[in-house]
Each structure stands twice: as C-alpha cells, then as structure tokens.
Amino acid sequence: MPRNRTRAVPVGAVTIGGGAPIAVQSMAATRTQDVEATVRQVNLLQAAGADLVRIAVDSRRDAEALAEIRRRTTATLSVDLQENYRLAVLVAPHVDKIRYNPGHLYHHEREKPVREKVALIAEAAAAHDCALRVGVNCGSVDPEQSAAHGEDDVGAMVASALEHCALLDGLGFTRYVVSLKDSDWRKVVDANRRFAAQRPDVPLHLGVTEAGMPPEGVIKTRIAFEQLLGQGVGDTVRVSLTVPFERKGEEIAAAREIIDDIAHGRFRSVPDWFDHGLNIISCPSCSRVENEAFVELAQQVKQVAAYARDYDITIAVMGCRVNGPGETDGADLGLWCGPAAVNLKRGSELLGAFPYDRVLDRLRVALDELIAQQRAGAR
C-alpha cells in the first residue's frame, strides 16, 4: 500500500504516521461525567480493536471525570476540546493526545490572539507528553477563513489547517496531526488532497463526519478512504457511525475491513445510484448528546423518510446544540436535538422546536413540501 512520507507522531503506545500501520480510532458517545458508562464504552471499543479512543471534555467536571476514567482503563486516550481551550491544562495529564478545533478558538476571550491560545494548548501538551490534533470541521470553520474564501469552503478548511500548522511549527511543537472533515465524502477527498499537496510531512487523520447509519455511513466513508488511502494519503482513520451503545465496535470493524480491502487492492466502485436520491447524514453522537433518544430518532428519521428515496434531498440529524445548528445548515432539512425538544430546520431557516414524539410528523410535512417543489421543478 503506498504511503505518504509523513513524520512519526507518537501517541501513547501508538505511532501515527512515519509509515506505521494505519491507526484506527473511535470516540465514546457517552456523557463523560457518567464514568461507569464511559469506561464501559472505552473498553468496548478497545476490545473491538481501537488503537485510540477519544473522549469529549467541555467543563471542569468533565475533566475531573476524565481523570477517573484514565485510572480505570488501559486504552490509549485522546480528548476532544471545544470552545474552552483552557481545559487543555487540566486534561493533558490524563491523555495521550488533545484535539482542538481552530474554528472554536474564537468563542472565548475574543480579544486574545489565537496564537496565544494555541501556545497554551501546545505548552500543556508538551509538558505532559501529549500529541495534538488540529481538527478542522466543515460545520465550524474559522470565520475569518470562511470570509476570505467565500464559496470555496474546502479552501477555507485547508487554509485554517495550514495556518495552525504554521502556528505550531513556529512554537516549536511538531508532534501533531491534522484532520479535515466534512459530511460530504467529495469534500473530504478534496480537502485532504489539497492539504497533503502542501504539507506532505504532516500525518492526516481521515474521516467523513456525520456519515450516518450503516450501511450508507460505511459506504460514504469507504469511498473517501479508497480515494485517499489508495493514493497514500492518511495515517489514522475513524469511521463515524450512528449506532447504539452496544454496537459502537462496528466503527472499528468497518474501518479495519476498509483498510484491509484497500491494502489488498479490493476497491469497490461507487454505485451509480449513490450520488442521487435521499441522503441522510447523522452524527455518531458523543458525550454532548443531551437526550439519549437521539440514536433512536436518527433511525426513525431514516424509516419515516424512506418514501422519499428517489428525491435528491439531504436530511441531517445532529445530537446537540454545539455542532447541530451549524452542521445542519447545508442540508435541505435539519434536525438537532436539545434536552426536551428537537429543532427542525429547512436549510438555515428554523421551522420550530418540537417534542420528540411530534417532530417526525412535522418532518413529514416539510419533506412533502420539498418533494412537491422538486416535482413542480421537473415539469
């Protein structure tokens, strides 16, 4: 299998890049403060063959829970920071890698230069033998880069990643990897190719975010990985699937199967129907999910919308208010979950917030309207 000559980034017992075997990772979908459940899911993923398991931390109490989780598992752990970048100092002693999102560094302390925030994260990582991931995500790109690149949203993602690589290099911190994720596999391929052409030395973490439920979520991810890993781009992967707790190990099994197929030259051509018809994207869920009914809701959306399979309509189902509002903007219909209600959107317009047991009826109405419009346009 051809591999780009990236530098080796040690992450606990794992090495990412430098020709090491492609590491497979996943993320706990539990509430981090539910230590019992999180430890159980981390261990479930480790038993399924995960090289690395990520946990989200949004608060001091999450960071305290993380310390306890660390004591109770041998898994190599990574942590996902959101807006509160200062938590890096609290989490670094307990994990092997810290992921930060450049697009989220703008929310706190707006007057402070981004370089200072990155420096704080890098210092915490260096002091505790941690690697970093610069995790750029389509739904939360640095607003300055988005403004500068206009329609070229992939260009904005790539520019943001390159900017943060330069910042880290300038700080003398080179133990990092980069990810550029989107829910559209084409953009994932485009972004990673463009980045790798400019920084072939930086290891890449590949993934199609909010890929959805199996089998479609696996198919989208497989297409992206075939295009990228098949050309030597990518050093670690995650397959993001919306599946219930006990089936989370399917993410690892799917990733290993895809890598093995590519390594043996078993490429599957893109089914010609795949680019057309109903496309349901849904996040894999994580500790930020505010109502555990989310996974069931995503499955119900798939069932309820099945009658629209021949229409070019994208429905996005997201688990929380952190990424839900932004990452549903690009879909024809979007649902993002709050504690007691589900917010339903049409494009970027909010149609309302509906109780969990009523939102599917309202979704059906909105879907019917879209189908009517597509039919009228086809006449």
Cβ neighbours of residue 343 closer than 8 Å, sequence gap 6 or more: 324, 325, 334, 335, 336, 337, 350, 352, 353
Q: Binding to ligand SF4 by residue 298, rule CB under 6 A?
A: no
Q: In this chain, which of 130, 286, 335, 360 binds ligand SF4, going by CB under 6 A?
A: 286
Which range binds ligand SF4 by CB under 6 A, 35-43, 91-99, 219-227, 283-291? 283-291
Q: Do the strands 77-81 and 52-57 form a parallel or antiparallel pair, or are they unpaired?
A: parallel
Q: Binding to ligand SF4 by residue 323, rule CB under 6 A?
A: yes
Contacting ligand SF4 within 342-371 (CB under 6 A)? none
Contact 366, 346 (CB under 8 A): yes
Q: In this chain, which of 9, 295, 322, 333 binds ligand SF4, going by CB under 6 A?
A: 322
Minimum distance between the CB of residue 322 and ligand SF4, rounded to whole angstroms?
A: 5
How far apart are the C-alpha atoms of 160 and 137, rounded to whole Å? 10
Q: Binding to ligand SF4 by residue 319, rule CB under 6 A?
A: yes
Q: In this chain, which of 283, 342, 359, 363 binds ligand SF4, going by CB under 6 A?
A: 283
Contacting ligand SF4 within 18-57 (CB under 6 A)? none
DSSP 285-300: --TT-S-TTHHHHHHH
229 vs 297, beta carbon nearer ligand SF4: 297
The two structure tokens encoding residue 108: 């706190």
Q: Binding to ligand SF4 by residue 285, rule CB under 6 A?
A: yes
How far apart are the C-alpha atoms of 31 and 62, rounded to whole Å? 9
Radius of gyration of the chain (CA): 20
Contact 203, 23 (CB under 8 A): no
167 vs 213, beta carbon nearer ligand SF4: 213
17 vs 324, beta carbon nearer ligand SF4: 324
Q: Binding to ligand SF4 by residue 289, rule CB under 6 A?
A: yes
Q: What are phi and psi of 299, to 5 degrees?
A: -65, -40
Minimum distance between the CB of residue 304 and ligand SF4, rounded to whole angstroms?
A: 20
Chain residues in the site for ligand SF4 (CB under 6 A) = 283-286, 288-289, 318-320, 322-324
